[in-house]
Structure 1
Amino acid sequence: MYYRIIFIVIAVGITFGLTPSITAIEDPISVSTAKSIYYEDDIIVVFGKVTTTISELPITIQLFHEENLIAVAQVEIALDGTFATDFRAKGHFWSSDGTYIVRAFYTPEKIAEKTFQFFKKPSGGTSSLFPVDIPNSGSFDLGYSIIGGEVSDIILKQDHYSLLIEINADSNGNIVLKLPRENIESKKSDGNDETFIVLISKTGLDNDDFTEVQFEEIETGPDFRTVRIQFDEDDRWIKVIGTYVIPEFGTIATMILLIAVTTTIVMYKSKFSIKYN
């Protein structure tokens, strides 16, 4: 009995000793890009990390499109294993829209890949202001530019805190929207900017018809937030959703409100004047 107890204790100890600890295992190599969408003449920033390095061995960064090598660079690795470099998306190699691959090669056992979308800037395009109606409260002008199509309508959806943009696309392209903060905004509970949600539909306006897509916020200021949205040739509707919309009083609405308030004040003054005279 005594030896049996000793055997059980030893067996339990060995079992616990062999049980691996549950900890996060870091990838031996990682690579990423600063953005997921790039346009012609943009700077593509590539960065990553190698967990275990070999002294003075650089990492090779390659860019591919449809198995064609677009660019290559050898990059030194910092003491902490991190690396970074950049490429300019310009030249005859950058002639096609689509998915591009970043490949980081360190050793045959340490290879990582990351994809991004690239779009050329077609010639032409339209820039303008679109008057957006505010229900029962005038309108506001929304600045936009579009390449690859035209804007048919823009509707403010107050109950959904969103803008619905109808487009006629004749090719793949993009639209840039200059969103006035006083009319549509996206904020966190602490008052900081929240990311808008962008949805695109090809077929209809039901919720199931829309798919969330990536976009870029290319400029942020005190009065406006400017976003750039990529669309395909068969896309029809774009929905930009914030956390709230703020209808402003149009000129006519403001005048009506002012007249109503003034009339009310005059009426009350007249009543008090009659009562005490």
Structure 2
Amino acid sequence: MNVQSIVLLMAVMAVGSMGAASQAFAADTPIPLQIESNGVNFDHNSTIEINGQVGNMRDGTPVTVIVTGATGVVTIEQITPSSDGSFSLSVNTASPLMKYDGEYKIKATYGDAGINDVIVVTLEGGLVKQAPSHSGHEEGHHEAADLTKQLDYNISGGMVESITATGDDSLLVSIHMAEDDGELTITLSEDIITPFNDGSFFVLVNGEESDDAHQMGNKLMIPFDATTTDIEIVGTHVVPEFGTIAMIVLAVAIVSIIAVSAKSRLSIMPRI
């Protein structure tokens, strides 16, 4: 065998070994995060079983699973994976928040926004969601405490009509006169809304998850377009309505005053 043949044979073997090594590396490289469900189509009296796997475990880091649909956020759960990286979650489609037919997006995120996986399921046999009338908040948004003056925010390309607490885990920012390329910058205080365990918030624009919103500490920058009427910011807890707190404080104060007054009258009455 001449020198040229030997060189050619070595080159072929080298290329083959590189290909085998690449295949072995690809096979050994874990998928960062993957989820699957027990079906694609469901009725409104079923259980969606979600199973997932984390590729590279991080101690103390939970998986955040968010289910969204026609009414906005259906559920948000944070799950600590098992030692092998597996995790699971059950979602009951009989929930009032899943009464409408259509697609529901299930998104899992691990550690940061770049490690995520999304699946979509379809619900059938229920109600058909009607288009919003824009005469008020969409169904599912129940006005509570007005926090407009308690939050530091700045907006371009539109006006903030109000910021209210809806439910016990989200803030609803109503946008008026939105224009193209607008952006809301808002600083959130834990005295008003607390983030998830990883320090993040979940943002929906017109009921759809925002992929353009970004966060720096407790400050959110949320772009929006001319169709935007509301922005929802979801955390783990929102302070209760101020009016309710005020009524409780007032009631306690009144009871205390009555008790003190009664005791004072008893102390000054002459004994017989």
* TM-score bucket of the superposed structures, by smaller chain: 0.3 to 0.5
TM-score (norm 1): 0.40
Greater Rg over alpha carbons, structure: 1
Structure 2-normalised TM-score?
0.40
Higher relative strand content: 1
